[in-house]
Amino acid sequence: MQKPLACVILAAGQGTRMKSALPKVLHPLCGRPMLGHVIATAKELDCDPIVPVIGHGAEQIRRQFAGEALRFALQAEQLGTGHALLCTEGELRDFCGDLLLLCGDVPLLRTETLRSLHDEHVNSGATVSVLTARLVNPFGYGRIVRGPQGVERIVEEKDATAAEKRLQEINTGIYLLRAPHVFDLLRSVRNDNAQGEYYLTDIIAAARAAGERVTAHQVDAAAEAMGINDRVQLAEATRLLRARLNRQHMENGVTLIDPAATYIDAGVTIAADSVIHPGVQIGGETRIGGACLLESGVTIRDSVIGERVHLKAGSVVSESHIGDDCAIGPMAHLRPGTELAGQNKLGNFVETKKATLGERSQASHLTYLGDATIGRNVNIGCGTITCNYDGVNKHRTVIEDDVFVGSDTQFVAPLTVGRGSLIGAGSTITRDVPADALAIARSEQKNVEGWAARKREKTCKE
């Protein structure tokens, strides 16, 4: 893009219609706050500076985006969208160029659309360019009123006459403006309207009155300009964004058996030839390798999954790392800090937490491995439990390479099981086991001859 481009993002309103304690622009769509999507768009367009206008929930918003290159402007009292833009004058004092105005509650706009708005703005030499859309049901939006010389003004739903309410071209709330000139125009805007607010939309009429050029650029796909004011619109926008993200994954070579029932957050990456069944949820900072198979009900957050990993139905994985060629589940629970080196198998009802497993180690059934360091080629029998918590502290269990753990073993941590050793089934292991030993810790069996037969006979007589 040619001249310097700054971006103002309006995000100070309360969002009353959301009926929420959370500021509207922090409500997430596909795992990212609404405002986060808008900021990402501004960054993609190389806007500098990016100035979000905040007011309601300002501290919470600042905290959420701490560390990002943003220059917040405060609008202490929400007196309208026009007043909100005026509040950025201090931050943009030295800025001379084009100003892209985005709304924190319009998160689906594509950068291509904004680029063509910018191009049209530059080519026409306009002072104000507004992005419009044609809607079958324009209810609630500001309407674009055109005259012989193009756009004359914008009228809000609450101020519109019956005839104006029938206009289907709406204001998306997105503009390109010439700065700093726009601030002079804004000062002439009054608040004598149905809501008693300083409307940014009145800048159109103000520019026209001053004899300046105004253009309107209509988006092709109206859906991307939708504003979110309530939870119905939030769900609708989420559905649209999800469809867009899912399409990208399919274009990248990922098979989604039912894209409408696949929930992948923004920022997740998946390599080609992975197959995802319906009802899968993937969120946070997650990367998934190629040729994986994710069955229904799999839920993954903030994890790295290698290649050819088979996650069977109902498995939950968070903050974990799964190496190549692992088979997990069904119904396994990999909690934070699980690290599988590769070729591991964790079967049904296996739970892990802060557990590392070396290559080819496996736990095929009904097991809890917490605070455990497990070497290579270890076989953990059915029903094994690491007793890692003594009520006060957590302790580690170390199991070295090539150990065979018999079924129904408890390891009372802290302890180390030496390389190549074997644990007899049903053992409660409380002390270290030396390498290559057999450890067996259970009471000896006693057989009472004929006892059961005698008991049966007695019961019959009664």
Residue 13 vs 383, nearer CB to Ca ion: 13
Binding-residue total with Ca ion (CB under 5 A): 3
- Please check whether residue 332 is in contact with residue 346, taking contact to mean a CB–CB distance below 8 angstroms: yes
Q: Which of 31, 33, 36, 80 binds ligand UD1 (CB under 6 A)?
A: 80
Residue 227 vs 347, nearer CB to Ca ion: 227
Q: Which stretch binds ligand UD1 (CB under 6 A): 81-89, 215-223, 282-290, 366-374?
A: 81-89
Q: 16 to 55, contacts with ligand UD1 by CB under 6 A?
A: 53
Structure-block tokens of residue 155: 């009228």
Spacing of C-alpha 46 from chain mean position: 23
- Please check whether residue 26 is in contact with residue 64, taking contact to mean a CB–CB distance below 8 angstroms: yes
> How far is the C-alpha of 359 from the C-alpha of 415, rounded, in Å?
21
Q: Is residue 11 near ligand UD1 by the rule CB under 6 A?
A: yes
Q: Is residue 227 near Ca ion by the rule CB under 5 A?
A: yes
Spacing of C-alpha 226 from chain mean position: 20
Neighbours of 77 (CB within 10 A): 9
Q: Which stretch binds ligand UD1 (CB under 6 A): 5-13, 183-191, 338-346, 355-363?
A: 5-13
Residue 449 amino acid letter: E
Residue 361 gets which letter from DSSP?
-
> How far is the C-alpha of 214 from the C-alpha of 286, rounded, in Å?
45
Site string for ligand UD1, 376-415 (x = CB under 6 A): ----------------------------------------
Q: Which of 127, 201, 238, 262 binds ligand UD1 (CB under 6 A)?
A: 201
Three-state secondary structure call for residue 87: coil
| Backbone dihedral angles phi then psi of residue 376, each to the nearest 5 degrees | -90, 155
Q: Which of 141, 175, 368, 411 binds ligand UD1 (CB under 6 A)?
A: 141
Q: Does the active-site annotation cover 118?
A: no
> How far is the C-alpha of 134 from the C-alpha of 172, rounded, in Å?
10
> How far is the C-alpha of 327 from the C-alpha of 338, rounded, in Å?
14
Binding-residue total with ligand UD1 (CB under 6 A): 29
Q: Which residues of this protein are in contact with ligand UD1, per CB under 6 A?
A: 10-13, 53, 75, 78-81, 83-84, 103-106, 141-142, 154, 156, 170-173, 199-201, 227, 229
Catalytic residues, by residue number, are: 365
Name the site residues for Ca ion (rule: CB under 5 A): 105, 227, 229
